[in-house]
Each structure stands twice: as C-alpha cells, then as structure tokens.
Structure 1
Amino acid sequence: MISILLVDDHPAICFALKVLLEKQGDMVVSTSTGENLLAQLHQLRPQLLILDLELKHADGLDLLPRIKLHYPHLNILIFTSQSAGIYALRTLQAGAQGFMNKNMPLENVEPLCRLIMAGYQCFPEGTLFKAASVSNNSDAHEALSGRFSDREIAVLNYFRQGKTNKEIADLLMLSNKTISTYKARMLQKCGCDELSQLISLVFKEGDNEDP
C-alpha cells in the first residue's frame, strides 16, 4: 500500500481526491489542513505528501525546506492553484518531486503519484531545463520573480491575498518590523512605489510563463 498525506484546507478537494486515489485499491489517504504538519508527518510517516502551497495556517513554499530537513526521503507532490511560472522551479529547488496545477483534471493526480513513487520528477515543461540553466549560472532565472527569495515570495503572496503585516507576521512567526522590511526591500528591488503595482507585475509575469 502507498500511504499518502494530502494537505489542503478545501474539504471538497480533499474528499474528491481521497475517493479518487483510494479507489485504486493500493493507496490509503489521510488528509490535513496543514496545521501542525511536522507533527502529523512524524505520527503518520506517509510515503508521499501531496501539498497545497496556499494554506490558511501556513505557506507551503515556506514549509518545504523544513519538511525536507526533517524528512529528506519523503516524496512530495505540489498540488496548487498557484502559478507554475513562479513556483514550479522554486519547489523543485526546495526538494519537491512534482508540481501540478489545480486547473488540470483530478484524474491526472494518480498517475503523477505513481511516477513520483517510481523515482521520477514530474514538473511542467521547461522547469527541469530552467533548473539546469540556473545551476550553470546562466541568465535563465533573470525573471522579475527571480529577484526574490522564497520567503519574499511567500510574503508577497500573502499581501496579494489582502493580509495585513500583523497577519503575515503571525503566520510566518516573524515580527511586524520584519514584514515591513521585506515589503520595502521587494519594492526597492523592482523600482515600484506601490505594493499593488509590484503584485501585478510579479504575478502577471508568472501567469505568462505557465504552459
């Protein structure tokens, strides 16, 4: 049996995907909203983690390095509505084995799970090429979003959702001052005066890079 932990705070998605995967007969699926995820991983010890990036209690991209630090051999499939253009390469570099956008049919999840469990990496077209180009110090990662760290992208995405400095600080366990520093630094990096302008530029670029 393949043991899977599905982390998504949308009950309908959890239910549909759990039914779909367990119907195969050789998969058993537990679900989680992402709260206290490291403790749940320790308790359940799944072979595969299916992780959304946009969670109420945490940011998936921010969680990835901590998960891989504690569970380096855990297979991880990112299943998210976030832009592949912004996030696919970052999640690959953070240790994920696959990336799938939620606008794809749910039926695609099961074969991706099997490929990952068989040792394959499953990412949108061009992601592995970008990773190789970045490792060779080319200019392939000169996109606007490439100027930001993973933590900065997490903060920017929370701003995109309309969260306040305090809400973001609480979610990422940082101080308000740190969030303000991230905001000022990102605006400076892109020469923007307004946060709304920065969000529009970065996430529009990401959408344009999606396959």
Structure 2
Amino acid sequence: MLANVVTPRISRIVLVDDTATFRALVKEKLRELYPAAEVADFAAGGPALAACLAQPPDLLIADLYLGNSDGRDIVRQLRCQGLRTHVVILTAFPEAGLPAELLALGVAGFVDKNSPLEQIERAVQCVLDGGLFFSATVPPPVPSLAGEPALPRLGSDALTERERDVVRLVARGLLSKQVADTLGLSTRTVEKYRGRIMTKLGLHDVPTLVRWCLRNGLG
C-alpha cells in the first residue's frame, strides 16, 4: 500500500473484469484502501452498466475487453447520461491509440494489467485526486481530435500567463500539490487557479482539459 496517502472519501466503487482471480485481487486492494466504501464487482459489462446507471458510483474500474462487450461502451453510456464518474480502464493489450481515445471519453486513468497491482492503486489515487494517470508501459496521449466531442473555441490567450503555467502542469497529470511545489505556490492557490481555468473554458474534467491543452500547444 502507498505510504502516507490520505485517501479521498468515496462511498461506492464498481469493478468489472472477466478474470475472476484478478478481479478478486483488485477488489481486496480496494477494500483495504477504502474500507467505508461499497465495492460492487461484476464479470460482464451489461450488469456493471446497469448497476452504474441504477446507483452511479464515485469510481468505475473496468477492463477494456469484456468478452462480448467493451469497457469503453460502459463509459460512453455513462457520459450519455451526463454522469462524470471517475474512471480507470484496465487492459492486458495496450495499443498506441488508446490513451487519446480514452481521453476523449473523459477517462483519466489507464493501466496495463501486466503492470504490478500497485499501478492500479496509484492510478485510482491519482484520478480521485483530480489528476491524470497513464501506465508507463503505454504511450502518452497524443493530439487526435477527429470525431471527438467539441472543445471550447477559446485559445490559450484566454488564460493569464500564470494560468497557462498551471494548466501545462495539470495537463501532464500533476496533482495540485505537485503543481504547487513546482511553481512555488500554495496548494490552495493552485486549486483556485484550477477552478478559475475550468470556469473560463467551460470544462468539467481533467481529460477534456488535457485535450484542450494539446490542441492549443500547452501539452
């Protein structure tokens, strides 16, 4: 387990993976990290989606390939319903184009299942803290905007110089405390900058902010 980590307060997690042994290991780790949270686990996408729609979770952890279904389909359905559930996607078969595709779906965490289990733990912590986590074994997101949801028309000149400094670091997946340490600011000040930036751009999540940064050369 990660040392000296303050875990965010969450009440419900949905985990879906069609490999029973692996799913059991992840579920056990989640119960360690979030003992007060309900962890509902599923072997198939259909029941997992139904559970998410019936009672939206704070966090969804989904395998990318689920037999006859796909973790991305679950995320699409959640987004169609306007749900901004935090999402971590897992796969044993990482592909170069996946990070950009997942960003377009508002997914902030992506982990290669061949990585140590601690990578999933780190991804969950990072995503719940408002950061971005992509496994070191897969390529980072690249600007690929075809067919993706529309981004704000505003360019980088809509932000102040300091806001651009902050947003560059946020787009690299740094958490507010890490941004604060890098820029010599307080965490509270960085949080205020982040809120102001999101309001200016009319955005609601870090993955969409990253896509905006890539389009405007701030990645």
Task: Say whether the fold is shared (TM-score over 0.5).
Answer: yes
| Residue matched to 1:4 | 13
Q: Distance in 1 between matches of 2:24 and 2:135?
A: 25
Q: 2:62 aligns with which of 46, 51, 62?
A: 51
- The correspondence for 1:88, drawn from 88, 96, 99, is 99
Are 2:110 and 2:135, in contact at CA under 8 Å, matched by a contact in 1? Answer: yes
The one-character-per-residue Cα deviations of 1:4-24 (angstroms, maximum 9, x if unpaired) are 111111111111111112122
Deviation, 1:124, is 4.1
Q: Distance in 1 between matches of 2:47 and 2:26?
A: 21
Deviation at 1:38, TM superposition (A): 2.8
Distance of 1:94 and 1:54 partners within structure 2: 16
Is 1:19 the counterpart of 2:32 in the alignment? no
Among candidates 84, 102, 107, match of residue 118 of structure 2: 107
Indicate how the Cα distance of structure 1 residues 71 and 77 shifts in structure 2: closer, same or farther if over 3 A, else same: farther
In structure 1, distance between residues paired with 2:134 and 2:88:
9
One-letter identity of the residue aligned with 1:13: F
Q: State the partner residue of 1:31.
A: 41
Distance 1:86 1:111, change over 3 A: same
Unaligned 5+ residue runs, structure 1? 137-211
State how 1:1-211 maps to structure 2 within 5 Å. 1-2=9-10, 3-24=12-33, 25-32=35-42, 33-124=44-135, 127-128=140-141, 130-131=142-143, 134-135=144-145
After TM superposition, what 4+ stretches of structure 1 lie above 4 angstroms from structure 2? none
Alpha-carbon offset, residue 98 of structure 1: 0.9
Asked whether the 8 Å contact 1:8–1:14 carries over to 2, the reply is yes
Report what 1:140 is aligned to. none
Shift of 1:116: 0.6
Shift, 1:48, TM fit:
0.5
CA distance in 2, matches of 1:23, 1:48: 15
Question: Higher helix proportion, which one?
Answer: 1
Length, aligned pairs only: 133
With over 3 angstroms needed to count, the CA separation of the structure-2 counterparts of 1:10 and 1:4, relative to structure 1, is same
Tell me the equivalent position of 1:172. none
- What is the TM-score when the length of structure 1 is the normalising length? 0.56
**Fraction of identical pairs, as percent:** 27
Tell me which amino acid in the other structure corresponds to 1:60.
G
Paired AA for residue 127 in structure 1 = P
TM superposition shift of 1:135: 4.8
Cα distance, 1:65–1:81 mapped onto 2, change above 3 Å: same
- Contact 1:20–1:107 at 8 Å: present in 2 too? no
CA deviations on 1:138-188 (whole Å, 9 max, x unpaired) are: xxxxxxxxxxxxxxxxxxxxxxxxxxxxxxxxxxxxxxxxxxxxxxxxxxx
